[in-house]
Structure 1
Amino acid sequence: MTTPQRQPLLQAIDADKAKLDAARPLPAHTLASLREKLMLEWTYHSNAIEGNTLTLRETKVVLEGITVGGKSLREHFEATNHRDAILFVEEIVGKNEVLTEWQIRNIHSLVLKTIDDKGAGRYRQENVVIAGASTTPPDFLHLPQEMKSLIEWHEKAGQMHVVERASELHTRFVKIHPFVDGNGRTGRLLLNFELMKAGYPPAIIRKEDRLDYYDSLDEACANGDFSGITQLVANSVQRSLDTYLDVLGLRKA
């Protein structure tokens, strides 16, 4: 539910999205360069949040097919896998497909491809705890029902503002923690699947916001208070909209 405090921010986001929509179709080269920029930054920041040590520039050259000395093979795969997962998300958004468990598994399978082929796309078969978190993920025996419930919640959440719905979807998924590894990256891909499906640019949660991100996620998981994570996602969407509007010369004075 939209709070009075959040209403102005969501209205500003919607107003900027309307400006962007009015400018479509965007020039082909402009669109391609913006897409490449956001894909690179999304890949860099999402991996960096999880401890990947590639810099933004190193991530760029890895995505161009160049090996970076002194970096692990896993870190290289994390970059190329994430790019492939974004391409898959773009594909299912383009087909206007609804969210399913099958797609969540496919996204995760791409995230962990070659890194953990045994666990890629498979729900965990063991119980886990998350360091620093106030909540414990559900028993692995409950995962089928938990994931079914997540999809059912999503099917009924259509009346929510998309930024709020995407933030809550992300949080609910992270709280379930259905995979042994790769839940954070997969969750942020789901967040942006939801936003992009509604015509918004992706929200890029920055490495430097990692502490606020984890704190707001923990608050939402423990107390059901989604205000912090929604604020953080909204700010991230606004930054991406600003990038588009600046390049197109549509930035408000």
Structure 2
Amino acid sequence: MQWQPIKNLPSNWENLASSELPPLVTVWNEQAERLRSSGEFKTFMERLCREIAIETGIIEGLYTLDRGITRVLIEQGINEALIAHNPNNLGNPPIKQIVSLIQDQEAAIEGLFDFVGGGRSLSTSYIKELHQLLTQNQDSTEAKTPTGQIIRVPLNRGDWKKQPNNPERKDGSIDEYCPPEQVASEMDNLIQWHHQHRIEQIPPEVEAAWLHHRFTQIHPFQDGNGRVARCLASLVFLQARWFPLVVTGDERAAYIGALEQADQGDLSNLINLFAKSQKQAFIRSLGLSEQILSETRRAQAVIASIANKIRQNQSPTIPDRRQKVESFATNLFKIASARLEDIATEIKLSVQNLVSDAESFVVQAAAGDPKSYYHRFQVVETAKQLGYFANIRTYHSWIQLVINVESSTTILLSFHAVGHEYLGLLACSACAYHRDNTGEGERNISDIQALTDSLFQFSYADDESNLTERFKKWLEDVIVTGLEYWNKSV
């Protein structure tokens, strides 16, 4: 890739913005106020920042930690003794250095909150401060000699690069970043455009992706550019009162692929990745906030939480919101039911002359149906795979597409609430599984797999026409993935 000066936002940026996030933001803002009133908002943010700090080092390849230890560190704090039990410690730096690297990232995130709270404007001097903070416990970096030898060289913290830092791909091609002599002017252009975008109120997920990518195109520092880029994206989200950017090690390949596509002029995948990250952060935060609220043992906080819940339950707006989102759910339920009936018919017509006892049919239970509590096991297992709490006590409806062709495969859609408290946020999850019979019991169920990597969420704040189109697209992806699952078992 040959270096080119950075460019402003693409002309079609309005079409790249997420339609899912604004309604979800509305629901989260209300929950955040509840969390603040309990006095536990600080605890919540501390856990969230630890998660981001740990994941950043993993995706940068600074160290490896398994998922179990990562979760314990998030919940209990950064502790050397906990990391010492890491079975993946082979090849890692010393434990003390891992702790220092995580703490550097934590300090940088806290600095971003201070930056936003102080109402400061982004500048090149602040970016240099950020780099210095992020790398204060990193003494050196890799460099290649003219003969191709990889050596360690001292890291120049908090200042623009003095030498080119163009990486070589596996195929031998070179990615050219901004030449050192052009860095200052390119960074000035980046900052100027960013300030203009703030005035124009560019959606956060679009601006965060643009700022992150253009910064990486410049690659102004000797090392640590990825860490700084994600902090800059986080800054955009924090200024919108959203969440710091989390890109996990599991998403590394998709993240790099999206950046490479952005290098070719297409920001859409990076914007979608960032939007997905924020969506997951909102949903995860709703669950985490409920957990923290339930964990608090201080009498004053408990009383305040109970009083707040009573006020919410008595508020005429809560029933109204539930009624509205449930009307949305009813409409989506009908759309899904009709589409799955069409699929069942297509399957029967396709195989009726090939398999004598082939069956394909739809079973369903709307909210309030005596059978609506069925399939809890599958729904909960799917929620575990997607990392959220599925609340089927307050609202639940489901639709099954059962395919009995040589073996039995079921595709299950479940409409239910998200989080322990039902304040007007519903979701639809989708999974597929095998079973030995076609009854409605839950015995002999195996190989439950979520059919998407992100559940479909919606709230009372959604626009119905936009919601319907969004759901139809999601549903088609689910059906294709579900049929591929069935195909593997035939």
Would you say same fold, with TM above 0.5?
yes
> Is the contact between residue 101 and residue 137 of structure 2 (CA under 8 Å) also seen in structure 1?
no
Q: Does 1:122 align with 2:164?
A: no
* 1:33 paired residue number: 43
CA deviations 1:107-149 (Å, max 9, x no partner) are: 1111100323851111110001124387410110111111111
Alignment map for 1:180-191 (pairs within 5 Å): 180-191=222-233
Q: Does 1:152 align with 2:173?
A: no
Give secondary structure in 1 for the equivalent of 2:20.
helix
Q: Does 1:53 align with 2:63?
A: yes
> Is the contact between residue 81 and residue 110 of structure 1 (CA under 8 Å) also seen in structure 2?
yes
Alpha-carbon RMSD across the aligned residues, in angstroms, is 2.3
Alignment map for 1:1-253 (pairs within 5 Å): 1-3=13-15, 6-7=16-17, 10-25=18-33, 26-27=35-36, 28-55=38-65, 57=69, 60=73, 64=78, 66=80, 68-69=83-84, 71-73=92-94, 74-116=97-139, 119-132=156-169, 135-158=175-198, 159=200, 160-221=202-263, 223-246=264-287, 247-248=289-290, 249=421, 250=423, 252-253=425-426
More helix by proportion, 1 or 2? 1
Give secondary structure in 1 for the equivalent of 2:177.
coil
Unaligned runs of 5+ in 1: none
Answer 1 or 2: higher relative contact order, Cα 8 Å, separation at least 6.
Answer: 1
User: Does the C-alpha gap of structure 1 residues 13 and 46 become closer, same or farther in structure 2, counting only changes over 3 Å?
Assistant: same
Give the stretch that moved more between structures: 156-165 or 50-59. 50-59
Please report how far the alpha carbon of residue 23 of structure 1 lies from its aligned counterpart in structure 2 after TM superposition: 3.6
| Runs of 4+ displaced beyond 6 Å | none
Tell me how far apart the structure 1 counterparts of residues 285 and 39 of structure 2 sit (CA, whole Å): 13
Unaligned runs of 5+ in 2: 1-12, 140-153, 291-420, 427-490
Q: How many residues align?
A: 248
Letter in 2 for 1:12: E
Tell me how far apart the structure 2 counterparts of residues 202 and 82 of structure 1 sit (CA, whole Å): 12
Q: Larger Cα Rg: Structure 1 or Structure 2?
A: 2
Tell me how far apart the structure 1 counterparts of residues 43 and 178 of structure 2 sit (CA, whole Å): 42
Quick one: percent identity of the two aligned structures?
21
TM-score, L = length of structure 1: 0.89
Tell me how far apart the structure 2 counterparts of residues 131 and 237 of structure 1 sit (CA, whole Å): 32
Give the stretch that moved more between structures: 103-112 or 46-55. 46-55
> Is the contact between residue 63 and residue 79 of structure 1 (CA under 8 Å) also seen in structure 2?
no
> Is the contact between residue 84 and residue 110 of structure 1 (CA under 8 Å) also seen in structure 2?
yes
Letter in 2 for 1:123: W
TM-score, L = length of structure 2: 0.47
